[in-house]
Amino acid sequence: MNNLILLIGNDINNISSGQSWKDLLQDIITFCHTGDCVELDDKKPFPLLYEEIFLTAIKREKLRERELKAFIAIKAAEIKANGIHAAIRALKPAHILTTNYEFTLEGRTPYENTSLINEKFYSIFRRYTMDDIHYWHIHGDCLNPMSINLGFEHYGGQLQLMRNYVVSGTFYSSKEVPKESLLRRIHAKQVYYHSWIDFFFTHDIHIFGLSLDFVETDLWWLLTYRARQKFHHKNVPVHNTLYYYIPEELVPGSKFKLDLLAANDVQVISLPGKDKLAYYTSIIQRIGKRKSS
């Protein structure tokens, strides 16, 4: 059985020609007519910058967030696929988790949502299945613009539901959603992998193309809670390994983050990364060899 699981971020899209993340930010500011008072600054965490743009816009234009997110969904959907996306699919992983909103990893827009429930806003169960690969869009997707996770408030709501799912149990009206917490279900050996969160406690995950900036509060909480469960609480066994890939040229300047990843039981793997295409090709080849061994 193929149990290969990947968590992939936006950097693989940077191989493709087209719009950069900074270009998208500028387009959002232009769309909201806030260019005269909202300044792009690397010191501003993006979820709070998004709130600044949106709140400034609604004070002036009475802009609806649905309109803004629909605009962002259109822009994200314009991202073009490249050879790395196809090479990832060729690995035939069982599951691909991604923070990306568009469907370049799938290779085409999915026609069927295979989630346990149809989420409109948050993304605990958001899944599409194509060619025997399950794709989990953990920060929302372009087909559902209001699910796109950008602002501080959205991150907070996502984290609240994640913690309920793992620690205290869920309160969804659907009878299909298990009410017991993930921890209780792991203890009872009743994990059915309805959510992407399940894999963080049960399966090896290879993480690449993801900067894991500290604004990703939902993922950092999950890493921290998993590590606490393994080394401190010890309510359930945690035997899986998380692998984080980083270009070796970025290692010296990323020591602060890599130290935190190590403390959270994440194994860091650095590879030559000056050539982005060669870097991701080497990651895929390395994972492919591990899979076949």
What is the spatial distance between Cα 92 and Cα 3, in angstroms, rounded to a whole number? 10
Q: With 0-12 CB in 10 A as exposed, 13-18 as middle and 19+ as buried, what is 279?
A: buried
* Predicted TM-score (pTM) of this structure: 0.96
Asked if 115 and 91 count as a contact pair (C-beta separation under 8 A), the reply is no
Contact, 136 vs 126, CB < 8 A?
yes
In the block, tokens 């372009």 appear at: 142
CA angle 272, 274, 275 (to 5 degrees): 100
* Average pLDDT, 10 consecutive residues per value, the chain (293 residues): 87 83 86 89 90 92 91 93 96 97 96 93 97 97 96 96 97 92 95 96 97 95 97 93 98 96 98 96 94 69
pLDDT the model gives residue 1 = 39
Distance CA 113, CA 60 (A): 37
Specify whether the CB–CB gap between 134 and 126 falls below 8 A. no
Domain boundaries, the chain: 5-16+81-292, 19-78
- Geometric angle at alpha carbon 114, from 110 and 118, rounded to 5°: 105
Rounded Cα gap, residues 70 and 142, in angstroms: 8
* pLDDT of the residue at 138: 98
Q: What integer pLDDT is reported at residue 5 of this predicted model?
A: 98
